[in-house]
Structure 1
Amino acid sequence: MTRVFLILACMASPALATSPIAHVICEPTEVMHQKLTRQFGETRAATGLRGREQIMEVWTDKQGDWTMVVTYASGTSCIVAMGEEWTPVTPPDPA
């Protein structure tokens, strides 16, 4: 997964966060969003609240790569997972 190595190489001095994931890349939220948008061509595809202090975000690009980011109320965002072949699911029409 060369995309993972590209992201790791492009992040300026990644900070480690306490997490069960081996390596978590954290940046100020504005910097993280700019990198995902400008450098990787991703757009935010989905968001969800995780308690009062966190928002989970899924960012995707046109090739199907995806990045999951947790954004904290403190102004820091961290990449917690990434992968390939993102497929949006359309809910069935209830009618």
Structure 2
Amino acid sequence: MRLRLTLVVLGLATPGLAQTPIAEMICGAHDEIVTRLTKGQRATLVGMGVRGPDAVMEIWQAADGDWTLVQSYANGQSCILAMGSDWADLGVPAEG
């Protein structure tokens, strides 16, 4: 009985594994990642921002609403960090 209770408590305390369409990071030369996104996914770059002195984050969106988060490094490498669906462009908030 004690072993069963311990297993139940451990099961509740351990978060479930998140289901994700990307099981591991996909990395490669930036040009290869861009080709994969533009030709394979028909995605376009819709946003980007500096993450640090050596990295830029990019959001790529396909016409069907699928999106891909890419981190690009100064050394020419890029990694796909996340993918999803139903991207909504909220626009830039008005000043004032």
Return the TM-score normalized by structure 2.
0.73
CA distance in 1, matches of 2:73, 2:86: 27
Report the equivalent of 2:14.
none
Q: Does 1:76 align with 2:77?
A: yes
Q: Does 1:49 align with 2:50?
A: yes
CA distance in 2, matches of 1:28, 1:69: 12
> Structure 2 counterpart of 1:59, which letter?
W
Report the equivalent of 1:28.
29
CA distance in 1, matches of 2:90, 2:84: 17
Pair member with larger Rg: 2
Cα distance per residue 1:32-78 (max 9 Å; x no partner): 10110011100001000011100000000111000000001111100
Shift >4 Å, 4+ stretches = none
> Structure 2 counterpart of 1:73, which letter?
A
> Structure 1 counterpart of 2:87, which letter?
W
Give, in angstroms, the shift of residue 23 of structure 1. Answer: 1.2
Give, in angstroms, the shift of residue 94 of structure 1. Answer: 3.5
How many correspondences in the alignment? 76
CA distance in 2, matches of 1:79, 1:93: 31
C-alpha RMSD over aligned residues: 1.6
Structure 1: any 5+ residue segments left out of the alignment? 6-21
CA distance in 1, matches of 2:88, 2:43: 14
CA distance in 2, matches of 1:76, 1:42: 19
